[in-house]
Amino acid sequence: MMKKIALIYMGGTFGCVGEPLSPMPAEQFLPRLAQVLPLNLDIECFVAPVIKDSSACTAADWLLLIQYIQKLQQQDFQHFVILHGTDTLSYASAVLARFLTHSAHVILTGSQYPLLNTQGTDTREFSDALDNLNFALAQIHQVNLGVYLAFHHQLIHAATALKQHTTELNAFTGQSALACSGIQPYDEPPLSITAQHIEKAQHFNCLNWMLQPIALSALIQNLKALQQHPPHCLILQSYGTGNMAVNAEVIALIHALQSQQCTVILTTQVTFGAIEQRYAISQWLQDSKIFISNCHSHADLYAKALKMHLQYDSLAQWYAHWHSSV
């Protein structure tokens, strides 16, 4: 006997109507959604704590969603399908994967086109919404414990998901969850979300710099400006396998940021492949004590940085736990 599925609506294009598109109020949308759900599945619909355009979502919104899922788990729900906007769907997926680990069966999905027509009276003639939802619902009792993203008949490990196209139906890529060589689940137990976590996340400042071909003097100028108000995390997206031209002054400025409890992390702007240090220029990594990404994707790096920020207050604690939190 298949267990009940909690279907959680969090907004996004999936629930939009009108011209131009705007979100239909959740209390009006859910009854229409219920009318198209498969009759052979036991599904209960819920409204997420936060309904908004996903481009406006932040860490606190996803922690509220995780907290809501954890409350539903106490009511014996273990299978969850989340409807979420596509703009930050990869980030939401990665954050849920990091925090829920393998404590539940979770699939996130969304759509490039709304479920309903302009008037909101019937399903839209051309839309991927119902197709994506039905695919997610069909997979939720088949997947192992963990978090996944379902889109255009692909089931992707949440930590590896990447939005690859702005308008095509095949909008996401990542490591297939249906392949035999799936990623290993996180070894850490799930983090039970509290009000303190949500409050701290509201102030989380993570800055990402994709390096451009500029002079070292310009990079130095930028780093000096950042010292006035350093973020909690500075992610440097370098070239290739992690290559980045530096000099003694750049390293000194990284040290200065670290002295202000700013975590500086090196990753790559190349979409696929891991960081690999083979060149002599990489000696600077040891001198600078910069963190090196060991994550599955850029969104996963954001999720890891967020979780470390919530768990540890000092840079020394980050150094102690960075490699044990994979």
- The pLDDT profile of the chain, 326 residues, written as one tens digit per residue, is 679 999 999 999 999 999 888 889 999 999 999 999 999 999 999 999 999 899 999 999 999 999 999 999 999 999 999 999 999 999 999 999 999 999 999 999 999 999 999 999 999 999 999 999 999 999 999 999 999 999 999 999 999 999 999 999 999 999 999 875 557 667 788 999 999 999 999 999 999 999 999 999 999 999 999 999 999 999 999 998 888 889 999 999 999 999 999 999 999 999 887 776 555 457 888 899 999 999 999 999 999 999 999 999 999 999 999 988 66
**Residue 24: phi, psi to the nearest 5?**
-75, 135
Length of the chain: 326
Do 317 and 224 share a structural domain?
Answer: yes
Report yes or no on 33 lying in a domain. yes
Cβ neighbours for 287, distance < 8 A, ≥ 6 positions apart? 251
Report yes or no on 71 lying in a domain. yes
Looking at residue 30, its amino acid is: L
Measured CA to CA, the distance from residue 269 to residue 267 in angstroms comes to: 7
Measured CA to CA, the distance from residue 65 to residue 100 in angstroms comes to: 11
Report yes or no on 181 lying in a domain. no
Per the structure, the count of domains in the chain is 2
Do 219 and 143 share a structural domain?
Answer: no
Do 237 and 91 share a structural domain?
Answer: no
Cβ of 58: how many Cβ atoms within 10 Å? 15
Residue listed under structure tokens 């990447």: 162
DSSP one-letter code for 122: S
* Strand-pair partners of 292: 266
Report yes or no on 178 lying in a domain. no
Do 239 and 101 share a structural domain?
Answer: no
Residue listed under structure tokens 């509201």: 202
Measured CA to CA, the distance from residue 21 to residue 195 in angstroms comes to: 33
